[in-house]
């Protein structure tokens, strides 16, 4: 709701101011960025309407010898002390076509019944530029050297104090002022630091500042330093290295505006990029010096516990645990917070640490504080408190030493359970007193501690060095179950494949036939029984080819096998031999044609060759 | 007949070896009771001598090292006491008496580096279920898991239909198996690959180099646990549990 109200208010104010601005008088003026150009070069004509933003681009007509092109409008609205001013600028490129003196304008525009008339601008067109005009680089270099950098670009060094004590932090500010210039690659300031701590600047801040009637872009670097020895010093001069960017135009020019500060070279318009060349000129800008007196720490009132800390601090103290046994550690946390030079803040000091074992504190430094974590170990139960911790520092604001004391912190230390063995062995059982009345908590029993008695039996006896996991026999047995799994897996996978993959099963069967069939044929050959020999050969052929082709062996004939082999691009000679072999077998089987021993031997050879060949053929 | 003779011979050899083993085992038992008697009389030095006779015969046990540790503790030799408790821990890690005595001895030694964890958090977490296992128990457990997995695989190979139903059980078993193997690996590394030692002298100077005149890096207290990295010319290179490596005389540290 609040947001809605505030938005409405802003809108009302805005519209009312815009309305007020509309009611104001409209002023029309014409500007040209350069009054003297050479033929072929361009100038920029700006027609500015102050007090309005809704006047369209005026028709500037035509001038003999001048070519004018409209580039576009740009609007501007500024609010200064609540006063709103608006304007619209229509920009034209003017390109002269012949030498001569021209007058552009006055231009007149009629808008909403009102007529606005501008001033006239003169343009001198020459044949060619003079020597300076023909050498833009030299011209710009001259321009750079001609710029009064003292006014446009300078650095100020400011020390926060003119007098400080040794180790006291002094804020230092280095400001870089830039007016209507492009500056890039700005480096961190440097200055001589003899007699002072190391200078480390933080990230700079950027803002605008009016100075002597001019508006400057300011880059502000801040740091703090402290003097390490007394004396009169002069800080600085601070030096900043940077590059001044100069835009060199070969055709059109535009005066550098304040908005160009730290401008990106790619941020310009297309036309600027096209006509502009960027050059960087390195410069080192020096500031004036700043006097600074470093005084020694005053000896008056300096406490014995002062270790050099200077600033404005708070000292926080905590200890944990506060109830413990002797020999157990207590963690002490001491935090020094505030503002000042933490480089010189050392751990607060304890007044008397007798009865404690003390360890070096661990230090953690943060931006606005320093934490010291220290371990103290009470050596006996007689210790009742952590002694006072004292932190002293010098406060420049009040110009005096201050001391903060924390503690003493009471602690409860009990007798440790772990004691010397001899004492424990002889320890007698503590007296036990019954509670005086019901509901009263029993008195705290102080139990002794010692080792537990020896074992009565040997327990499991091992032979030295012999362990199950080192036993070679055991280790040798371990892979056997795994091998068993692998073998089982192979066997069962094979069996599964034989049952599920007909082609694979046929191929396996063919291999078996190949081996057993050949042996049987050789036996029959020795017997000389040709009928049985060819019967067996035919059966072997059927079984083998049936297995390979994947059809029942009983159905295998040459007529079945031939198209299969032909489709697999089998050798024609082999197919023919197979045909002959089938025919021979058939003759012997059915016609009882007797083959001699040599014929059978030859046929067996053909059979073997045939099978060897078929083994290589993918069927 | 031949088979009968061979069987009789084997039985005879087996009986003989059993008798010998029994005789040998009985001997340590007797010595152990004598040593215990000496301890009970307060003659700790004699007790140590008697216990040492058993180890001299090539036998060892968790209870034996526990009793040796106790004897040394009573003799005021804290380093040797801790050494023997640590040895006992490898056999009887679950034993509460041992935990108590070892903790007490370490507390008495008051060495801040004795309790620094050698293993990181994840490994310690991994070892939680097996902390009370000694290496032999862990070996038996791992083997049992391994055999169960193998048996399951065999059943599943023979009956793939059952495998589909019992797949989650197999996955769980495989995870347990993997976990056990990893734990076994860490335990093996801790006890078999790393050589731990205990400082057995009152105060030992650990030096940068294995030279008498070398700069002392730090001092070790009696009973401190260290890792022995290597030995060289009468020196041992050791690593304290906080990772600092130095050299000590080899008689100052005894391997567990």
B202, B195, B191: which is closest to B252 by C-alpha?
B202
Question: Is A312-414 in the same CATH topology as A21-128?
Answer: yes
pLDDT the model gives residue B122: 76
Give every residue of chain B whose pLDDT is below 70, as ranges: 1-26, 111-119
Query: Dihedral through CA A20, CA A26, CA A27, CA A31, nearest 10?
Result: 100
Pick the CATH number of A21-128 from 2.60.40, 3.10.450, 1.10.10, 3.30.70: 2.60.40
- Which chain B residue has the Cα nearest residue A483? B150
| Helical H segments across A135-236, by residue range | 136-146, 149-152
CB pairs under 8 A between A and B: 102
Task: Residue B54: list chain A partners with CB under 8 A.
Answer: 458
| Out of A425, A462, A478, closest to residue B61 by CB | A462
Interface of A with B in 143-202 (CB under 8 A): none
Of B55, B61, B158, the CB nearest to A492: B158
The residue of chain B with its CA nearest to that of A495 is B158
Say whether A488 and B158 touch across the interface (CB within 8 A): yes
Angle at which helices A597-616 and A530-549 pack, to 10 degrees? 10
Q: What is the dihedral of CA A253, A259, A263, A267, to 10 degrees?
A: -70
Q: What is the ipTM of this complex?
A: 0.78
pLDDT at A254: 47
- Who has greater pLDDT, A36 or A455? A455
At A258, the pLDDT band (50, 70, 90 cuts) reads: very low
pLDDT at A24: 53
Cβ <8 Å between B66 and A454: yes
Rg (CA), chain A: 54
- Is the pLDDT at A178 greater than 80? The verdict is yes
Residue ranges covered by each domain of chain A: 21-128, 145-292, 312-414, 499-616
- Do A482 and B32 lie within an 8 Å CB cutoff? no
pLDDT digits (tens, 9 = 90+) for A328-337: 788 888 999 8
Residue range A446-458: average pLDDT?
85
- Chain B residues within an 8 Å CB radius of A467: 135-136, 139
Q: What is the 3-state secondary structure (H, E, C) of A445-477?
A: CCCCCCCCCCCCCCCCCEECCCCHHHCHHHHHH
Q: Residue A256: is its pLDDT beyond 50?
A: no
Comparison of pLDDT for A500 and A594, the residue scoring more: A500
Taking only the tens place, the pLDDT of each residue in B211-233 is: 988 888 888 888 888 999 999 88
Distance of CA A85 to the CA centre of its chain: 46
Q: What would the pLDDT profile of A95-147 be if each residue is shown by its tens digit?
A: 787 888 888 888 888 888 888 888 888 888 887 654 433 333 334 444 454 45
Bridge partner residues of A385 (DSSP): A410
Q: How far is A482 from chain B (nearest CA, A)?
A: 7
Q: Which of A274-288, A309-323, A482-496 has the lowest mean pLDDT?
A: A274-288
pLDDT, tens digit (0-9, with 9 covering 90-100), for A64-77: 888 888 888 888 87
pLDDT of A9 higher than 90: no
pLDDT at A430 over 50: no
Phi first, then psi: give them for residue B231, nearest 5 degrees: -125, 145
* Structure token digits, residue A481: 């179950």
Q: How confident is the model at residue A276 (pLDDT cuts 50, 70, 90)?
A: low
The Cα–Cα gap between A46 and A69 comes to 12
Contact yes or no for A461 and B60 at CB 8 A = yes
pLDDT recorded at residue A443: 66
Shortest CB distance from B67 goes to which of A417, A455, A488?
Answer: A455
A282, A277, A287: which is closest to A186 by C-alpha?
A: A282
Cβ proximity of A43 and A91 under 8 Å? no
Residue A122 at interface with chain B, using a CB cutoff of 8 Å: no
- Spell out where A118-238 has E strands: 121-126, 153-159, 163-165, 169-178, 182-184, 205-211, 214-226, 231-235
Average pLDDT over residues A606-613: 85
**Of the partner residues A422, A450, A459, the one whose CB lies closest to the CB of residue B63:** A459
Task: Check A451 against B70: CB less than 8 A apart.
Answer: yes
> What are the tens digits of pLDDT across the range A217-248?
888 998 888 888 888 888 888 888 888 877 65
Cβ–Cβ gap B135/A452 under 8 Å: no
Residue A328: predicted pLDDT: 79
Which residues of B fall below an 8 Å CB-CB distance to A? Answer: 25, 28-29, 32, 36, 39, 54-55, 58-64, 66-67, 70-71, 73-74, 76, 91-92, 97, 100-101, 104-105, 107-108, 110, 135-136, 139-140, 143, 146-147, 150, 153-154, 157-158, 188
pTM above 0.90, yes or no: no
The CATH architecture that domain A312-414 belongs to is Sandwich (2.60)
Q: How confident is the model at residue A11 (pLDDT cuts 50, 70, 90)?
A: very low
pLDDT at B114: 58
pLDDT at B32: 92
B101, closest residue in chain A (CA to CA): A451
Q: Tell me if residue A278 falls in helix, strand or coil.
A: strand
Report the distance separating Cα B112 and Cα A19, nearest Å.
83
CATH architecture of the domain A145-292 equals: Sandwich (2.60)
Q: What average pLDDT does the segment A349-360 reach? A: 82
Rounded mean pLDDT, A416-422:
49
Residues with Cβ within 8 Å of residue A120, at least 6 apart in sequence = A30, A103, A104, A105, A106
pLDDT surpasses 50 at A422: no
Q: What kind and span of H or E run contains A333?
A: strand A330-340
Q: Please, what is the average pLDDT of chain B?
A: 84
E strands, chain B, are 59-60, 195-199, 203-207, 216-221, 225-232, 235-240, 245-249, 253-255
Q: Give the phi and the psi of residue A442 in degrees, each rounded to 5.
A: -65, 150
Amino acid A80: pLDDT:
67
Is pLDDT above 70 for A151?
yes
């Amino acid at each position: 709701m609040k947001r809605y109200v505030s938005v409405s208010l802003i809108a009302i104010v805005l519209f009312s101011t815009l309305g007020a601005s509309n009611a104001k008088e409209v002023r029309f003026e014409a500007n040209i960025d350069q009054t003297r150009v050479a033929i072929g070069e361009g100038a920029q004509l700006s027609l500015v309407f102050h007090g309005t933003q809704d006047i369209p681009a005026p028709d500037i007509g035509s001038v003999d010898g001048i070519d004018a092109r409209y580039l576009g409008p740009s609007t501007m609205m500024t609010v200064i002390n609540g006063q709103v001013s608006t304007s619209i600028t229509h920009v034209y490129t003017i390109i002269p076509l012949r030498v001569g003196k021209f007058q552009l304008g006055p231009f007149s525009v009629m808008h909403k019944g009102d007529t606005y008339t501008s001033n006239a601008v003169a343009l001198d067109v020459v044949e060619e530029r003079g020597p300076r005009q023909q050498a833009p680089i030299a011209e710009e270099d001259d321009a750079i050297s001609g710029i009064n950098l003292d006014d446009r670009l300078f650095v100020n060094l400011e020390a926060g104090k003119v007098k400080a004590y040794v180790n006291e932090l002094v804020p230092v500010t280095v400001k870089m002022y830039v007016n209507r210039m492009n500056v890039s690659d700005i480096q961190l300031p440097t200055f001589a630091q003899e007699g002072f701590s190391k200078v480390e600047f933080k990230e700079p801040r950027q803002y605008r500042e009016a100075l002597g009637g001019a508006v400057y872009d300011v880059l502000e670097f801040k740091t703090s330093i402290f003097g390490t020895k007394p004396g009169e010093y002069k800080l600085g001069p601070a030096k900043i290295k940077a590059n001044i960017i100069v835009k060199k135009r070969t055709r059109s020019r535009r005066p550098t505006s304040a908005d160009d500060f730290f401008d990106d070279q790619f941020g310009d318009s297309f036309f600027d990029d096209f006509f502009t060349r960027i050059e960087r000129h390195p410069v080192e800008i020096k500031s004036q010096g700043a006097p600074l007196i470093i005084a020694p720490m005053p000896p008056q009132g300096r406490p014995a516990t002062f270790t050099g800390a200077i600033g404005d601090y708070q000292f926080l103290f905590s200890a944990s645990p506060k109830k413990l046994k002797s020999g157990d550690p207590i963690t002490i946390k001491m935090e020094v917070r505030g503002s000042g030079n933490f480089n010189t803040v050392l751990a607060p000091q304890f007044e008397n640490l007798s009865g404690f074992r003390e360890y070096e504190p661990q230090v953690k430094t943060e931006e606005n504080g320093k934490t010291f974590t220290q371990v103290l170990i009470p050596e006996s139960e007689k210790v009742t408190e952590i002694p006072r911790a004292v932190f002293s520092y010098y406060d420049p604001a009040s110009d005096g030493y201050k001391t903060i004391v924390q503690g003493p912190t009471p602690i409860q230390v009990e007798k440790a359970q772990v004691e010397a063995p001899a004492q424990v062995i002889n320890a007698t059982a503590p007296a036990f007193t019954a509670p005086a009345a019901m509901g009263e908590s029993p008195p705290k029993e102080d139990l002794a501690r010692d080792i537990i008695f020896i074992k009565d039996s040997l327990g499991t006896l091992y032979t030295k060095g012999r362990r199950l996991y080192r036993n070679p026999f055991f280790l040798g047995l371990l892979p056997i179950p795994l091998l068993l799994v692998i073998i089982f897996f192979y066997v069962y996978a094979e069996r599964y494949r034989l049952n599920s993959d007909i082609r694979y099963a046929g191929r396996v069967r063919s291999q078996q036939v190949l081996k057993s069939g050949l042996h049987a044929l050789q036996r029959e050959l020795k017997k000389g029984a040709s009928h049985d020999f060819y019967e067996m050969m035919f059966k072997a052929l059927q079984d083998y080819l049936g297995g390979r082709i994947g059809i029942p062996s009983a159905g295998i004939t040459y007529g079945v096998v031939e198209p299969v082999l032909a489709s697999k691009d089998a050798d024609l000679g082999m197919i023919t031999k197979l045909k002959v072999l089938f025919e021979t077998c058939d003759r012997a089987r059915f016609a009882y044609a007797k083959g001699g021993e040599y014929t059978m031997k030859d046929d067996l050879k053909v059979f073997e060759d045939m099978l060897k060949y078929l083994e290589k053929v993918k069927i | 007949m031949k088979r009968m003779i061979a069987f009789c011979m084997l039985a005879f050899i087996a009986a003989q070896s059993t008798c010998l083993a029994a005789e040998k085992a009985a001997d340590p038992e007797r010595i152990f009771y004598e040593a215990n008697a000496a301890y009970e009389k307060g003659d700790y030095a004699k007790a140590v001598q008697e216990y040492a006779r058993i180890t001299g015969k090539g036998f060892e046990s968790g209870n034996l090292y526990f009793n040796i540790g106790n004897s040394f503790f009573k003799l005021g030799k804290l380093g040797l006491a801790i050494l023997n408790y640590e040895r006992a821990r490898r056999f009887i890690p679950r034993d509460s008496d041992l935990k108590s005595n070892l903790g007490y001895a370490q507390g008495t030694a008051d060495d801040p580096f004795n309790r620094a964890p050698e293993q990181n958090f994840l490994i310690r977490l991994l070892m939680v279920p097996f902390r009370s296992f000694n290496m032999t128990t862990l070996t038996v457990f791992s083997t049992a898991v391994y055999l169960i997995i193998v048996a399951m695989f065999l059943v599943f190979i023979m009956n793939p239909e059952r495998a589909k139903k019992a797949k989650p059980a197999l996955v769980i078993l495989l995870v347990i198996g993997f976990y056990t193997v990893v734990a076994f690996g860490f335990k093996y590394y801790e006890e078999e690959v790393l050589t731990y030692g205990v400082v057995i002298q009152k105060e030992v100077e650990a030096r940068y180099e294995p030279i008498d005149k070398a700069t002392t890096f730090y001092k070790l207290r009696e009973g401190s646990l260290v890792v022995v990295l290597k030995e060289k010319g009468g020196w041992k290179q050791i690593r304290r549990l906080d990772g600092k490596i130095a050299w000590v005389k080899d008689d100052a540290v005894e391997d567990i």
